[in-house]
């Protein structure tokens, strides 16, 4: 009798320094060739479950564990971490923590070299893994110079090259542009069709549904509350917590009272001087590196809520870092409130611009969340009472009050991301810039903190880089579409996002919410979230009041 790839029985785990178990009484199994989608709110125990399966618990993360996990009939309790890793391949949430090599080829080959695989076998396996993910052209690049999305693909290639029999993927789509996400998902389905058991933890549920996962698991507060097919999923989960397809939300929201929204964006009068101005900006990394930015000319003005969209490696992050002065143009100039960033220190710029990095590991270092949130305001010389007020507001905004005395790096990736956002909020900068703010966030949390940020007075402009088209649909009043270092479109969401051909050429794919909004646009005149569209007919004349938020 063939043993199942993975069997989990009565699994419970509680971290040290925690008063409650992170996961409780989990029971399930995976058949060969199955794709299992695991979803749930940030901090519900999804990543903890992964750590138990791949051996990071108890070898790296300490705590009390009961129950059993069997890999092809063998209990992990009797296996070492090296033994487990030859059966289970894991992609971590944050690729920065998984990449060790200086060059892409070396990074992907690392695991095979550790196992003593002959070099003549390593090279073709590495190239096959890179080609499968569409990044063979990165083979000889330095990992440092790759984008966040490219790093995600490189880390994934390092997992696939090992040819695992069980594949655990923790937020594999978080840093990928929409087209890359679909390509990765098709690769996962192909691996499953080849007999590998694939387990995907993901907040981008609608994207994963496109490859028809065989089993859906929903977790809430450490417990498995649903295990079944995706047909039952639509009724089993709260559409306010998990982002389901827009038409499903539309139908379910019609049965509930109409949501009440307050204005999300204050109309700040345009000042005579732009907050940020790019003038003929070009940039390349190193003397011989490729040109990343090409002749950028645009302004950021008071009242702008800008979504920056574009493919992995298009230059989005590089562009935004120029506004803070973290990078200086190789040609042209960037002006921050009329002053050239070449003549400013980053500390001076930080009084005006707050920047949230894509990877929270690049920002978090303090012993507790409270210390983390206080660090920036202290450095800027804020008085003690203002620091306390700012920290309280910031932690409430990201819904992490109960974690104030916890070490930030002990929290889940999604919670770390919210802490990194709160750390910048506490500094009360006039311009807030966020790189992938919703990565690792469940639907409820990202709506909650985005609503709070945009409703709070004090920010003159908000700019966010995102691969989540729906985030741009709901919150932006302006979109910059970037392709290969150039801005190919700049305008209102309903103008830029209506050009489906242009979007697809930039690897930005229309979502069900965007398509639904385009249908309603003649009635509404602007974009809204599906919960609002569900009640659109009840508004006078079918059009919502001008100040309402989507």
Given a contact cutoff of 8 angstroms between Cβ atoms, the answer to whether 496 and 339 are in contact is: no
The predicted-structure confidence for 383-423, as pLDDT tens digits, reads as follows 999 999 999 988 888 888 888 988 888 887 778 888 988 89
β-strand pairing of 215-220 with 223-228: antiparallel
Percent of the chain with pLDDT over 70: 95
Question: Domain 6-253 is of which CATH architecture?
Answer: 3-Layer(aba) Sandwich (3.40)
The predicted-structure confidence for 101-135, as pLDDT tens digits, reads as follows 889 999 999 989 988 899 899 999 999 999 988 89
Question: How much is the pTM?
Answer: 0.85
DSSP 8-state secondary structure symbol assigned to residue 37: E
Domain definitions of the chain by residue range? 6-253, 275-348+431-440+461-526, 353-428
Which of 549, 547, 512 has its CA nearest to residue 532? 549
Given a contact cutoff of 8 angstroms between Cβ atoms, the answer to whether 394 and 426 are in contact is: yes
The predicted-structure confidence for 134-167, as pLDDT tens digits, reads as follows 899 999 988 887 887 888 889 989 999 998 999 9
Which of 294, 320, 296, 299 has its CA nearest to residue 308? 320
The mean pLDDT values, 10 residues at a time, for the chain of 550 residues are 88 90 96 95 90 92 94 90 89 80 92 89 93 90 84 90 93 88 90 94 91 94 92 84 90 84 49 87 88 96 95 94 93 95 89 87 87 90 91 88 87 84 88 88 84 80 94 95 97 96 96 95 91 73 44
Which of 472, 127, 106 has its CA nearest to residue 316? 472
Domains 6-253 and 275-348+431-440+461-526 agree in fold = yes
Right CATH number for 275-348+431-440+461-526 from 3.10.20.340, 3.80.30.20, 3.40.250.10, 3.40.50.300?
3.40.50.300
């Amino acid at each position: 009798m063939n043993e199942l790839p993975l069997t989990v029985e009565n699994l419970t785990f509680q971290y040290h320094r925690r008063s409650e178990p992170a996961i409780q009484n989990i029971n399930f199994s995976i058949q060969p060739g199955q794709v299992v989608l695991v979803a749930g709110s940030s901090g519900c125990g999804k990543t903890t479950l992964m750590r138990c399966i791949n051996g990071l618990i108890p070898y790296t993360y300490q705590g009390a564990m009961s129950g059993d996990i069997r890999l092809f009939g063998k209990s992990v309790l009797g296996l070492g971490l090296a033994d487990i890793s030859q059966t289970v391949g894991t992609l971590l949430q944050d690729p920065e923590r998984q990449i060790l090599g200086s060059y892409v080829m070396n990074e992907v080959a690392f695991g095979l070299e550790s196992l003593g695989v002959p070099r003549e076998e390593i090279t073709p396996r590495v190239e096959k893994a890179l080609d499968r993910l569409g990044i063979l052209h990165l083979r000889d690049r330095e990992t440092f110079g790759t984008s966040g999305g490219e790093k995600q693909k490189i880390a994934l290639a390092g997992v696939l090259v090992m040819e695992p029999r069980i594949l655990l993927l923790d937020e594999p789509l978080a840093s990928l542009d929409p087209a890359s996400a679909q390509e990765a998902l098709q690769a996962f389905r192909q691996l499953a069709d080849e007999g590998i058991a694939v387990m995907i933890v993901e907040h981008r549920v609608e994207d994963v549904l496109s490859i028809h996962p065989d089993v859906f698991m929903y977790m809430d507060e450490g417990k498995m509350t649903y295990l079944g097919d995706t047909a039952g999923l639509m009724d089993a989960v709260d559409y306010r917590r998990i982002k389901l397809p827009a038409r499903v939300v539309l139908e379910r929201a019609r049965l509930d009272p109409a949501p009440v929204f307050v204005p999300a964006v204050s109309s700040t009068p345009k000042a005579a001087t732009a907050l940020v101005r790019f003038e003929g900006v070009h940039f390349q990394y190193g003397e011989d590196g490729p040109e990343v930015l090409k002749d950028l000319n645009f302004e950021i003005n008071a009242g702008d809520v800008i979504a920056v969209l574009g493919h992995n490696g298009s230059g989005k992050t590089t562009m935004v870092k120029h506004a803070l002065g973290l990078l200086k143009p190789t040609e042209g100039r960037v002006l921050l409130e009329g002053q050239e960033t070449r003549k400013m220190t980053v500390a001076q710029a930080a009084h005006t611009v707050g920047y949230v990095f894509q990877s929270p590991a690049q920002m978090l270092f303090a012993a507790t969340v409270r210390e983390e949130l206080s660090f920036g305001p202290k450095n800027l010389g804020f008085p003690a009472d203002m620091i306390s007020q700012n920290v309280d507001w910031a932690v409430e905004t990201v819904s992490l009050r109960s974690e104030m005395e916890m070490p930030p790096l002990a929290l889940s990736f999604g919670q770390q991301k919210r802490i990194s956002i709160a750390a910048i909020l506490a500094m009360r900068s006039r311009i807030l810039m966020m790189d992938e703010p919703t990565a690792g966030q469940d639907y409820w949390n990202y709506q909650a903190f985005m609503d709070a940020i945009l409703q709070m007075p004090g920010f003159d402009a908000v700019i966010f880089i995102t691969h989540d088209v729906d985030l741009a649909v709901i919150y932006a009043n302006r979109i910059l579409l970037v392709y290969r270092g150039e801005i190919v479109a700049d305008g209102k969401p309903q103008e830029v996002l209506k050009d489906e051909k242009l979007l697809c050429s930039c690897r930005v794919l229309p979502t069900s919410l965007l398509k639904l909004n385009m249908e309603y646009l003649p009635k509404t005149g602007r974009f809204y979230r599906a919960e609002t569209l569900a009640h659109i007919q009840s508004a006078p004349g079918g059009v919502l009041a001008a100040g309402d938020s989507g």
